[in-house]
Amino acid sequence: MQSKKINSLTGMRFFAIMIIVISHLEFLKNLPNGQIYMQFFHNPEIGVDFFFVLSGFGLMLSDINRNGWNIGNTINIKNLFMFAYNHIKKIYPVYIATIFLCIPLYLYQALSSGKTIAVISELLALKLLCCLGVVQSFFGFSWLSHSFNGVCWFLSALCCIYFASPILINLLKRFCTSLNKTVFSLILCAICTPVFMYLFKYLQQITVFDDFTYGSPFIRVFYVVFGMLLAIFFKKLPDVKTSNFTELIVFSAYIAYFLCRKFVLFNLPYISIIYVIDIVFAGMAVLLLAYNQGFVSKLLSKPSMLYFGNISMYIFLIHYPVRMYSTTLLQPYLKDYTITGMTVLIILAVTWLVSHLLYKPAN
């Protein structure tokens, strides 16, 4: 344990982030064999789902370690606001910096598309106001949730969920008083995820909303709740014995699923089943690493992996603006293997360098 965190989960953060980073190198599809990239390596959902489940796990585990099974203090708007603020304040300055870094590119693209100065100014003010409040993902519009730095919807969705988290934590602790109730709740949450995904997709078809099924806190809350329930399970059953073989099987299956997810998706009789598979795989990875007993856990707990895990959120926020500017400048040349390869190396190198410079190790 390091700073009351589970080291193996910290190390795993880096691999989940790299899944997302690799999935954002969409310009690779322009290469002669670009369909290989799109088929096997463009699967950001796996990394995103893991982070939401991990966030819920961390929230509940921290609360139980701090307060035991006692129900929290009286909840009011101020307490909810402060809870959300305390969970994003460390990363907020970097988040805002990336927002402003992307504004010149946003203005260039808006002017190139023929929008008038008046329209651009109004949209800029609205988007900036929502982004400063970290609420852009709340409204269900992709043009708003993906404003400026396209990955910042993630922090916005988390912030909205953080605001409600003390209520969720109290409700789950009140209900999950036994292991059986906890397992029942896990199954129910896994079933509800595709059900609500289907309902939100239907809502998107009949309304002007278009982002209730990916970047919205209203669907992502199910992943966070699933993580919270896993933390309750973990605390109620702390002495589960795992092995090298168990970790090898689970993580080999997880890697195979990452590579074959699109094949699985297009061959399922009911597409919504994919969301159950996603959340179960993410949950298994989080829970298995929480027990921290096999060689995969030990590998992810090494100092080098802890370093990369600790800078993972910086990598997440920074890589997207670097990719956007790089591809905008080099777009005509990104069908050449050499230039494309150099572009990938530049994106990764600049992202790591800036992340490294921003990272301040805990004392």
What spatial distance separates the first Cα and last Cα of the chain, rounded to whole Å? 15
Kindly list the distances between the CA atom of residue 37 and the CA atoms of 12, 25, 45, 259, in Å, as whole numbers in the listed order. 23, 9, 15, 10
Q: Classify the C-alpha dihedral 218-222-224-228 as positive or negative.
A: positive
Q: Cα 154–155–160 angle (5° rounding)?
A: 100
Residue 274 to residue 203: CA distance in whole angstroms: 19
Which residues of the chain have a pLDDT value below 70?
A: 1-4, 72-74, 362-363
pLDDT at position 242, please?
A: 85
Are 312 and 17 contacting, i.e. CB atoms less than 8 angstroms apart? yes
Q: What type of residue sits at position 206? A: I
* CA-wise closest residue to 230 among 5, 47, 64: 64
How many CB atoms are located within 10 Å of the residue 200 CB?
A: 19
Question: Would 62 be classed as within a structural domain?
Answer: yes
Question: Would 2 be classed as within a structural domain?
Answer: no
pLDDT at position 67, please?
A: 86
Question: Would 270 be classed as within a structural domain?
Answer: yes
Domain tally, the chain? 1
Domain that holds residue 245: 7-358
Question: Would 284 be classed as within a structural domain?
Answer: yes
Residue 184 to residue 223: CA distance in whole angstroms: 16
pLDDT at position 74, please?
A: 65
Question: Would 113 be classed as within a structural domain?
Answer: yes
Question: Would 363 be classed as within a structural domain?
Answer: no
pLDDT at position 289, please?
A: 94
Question: Would 70 be classed as within a structural domain?
Answer: yes
Residue 205 to residue 34: CA distance in whole angstroms: 31
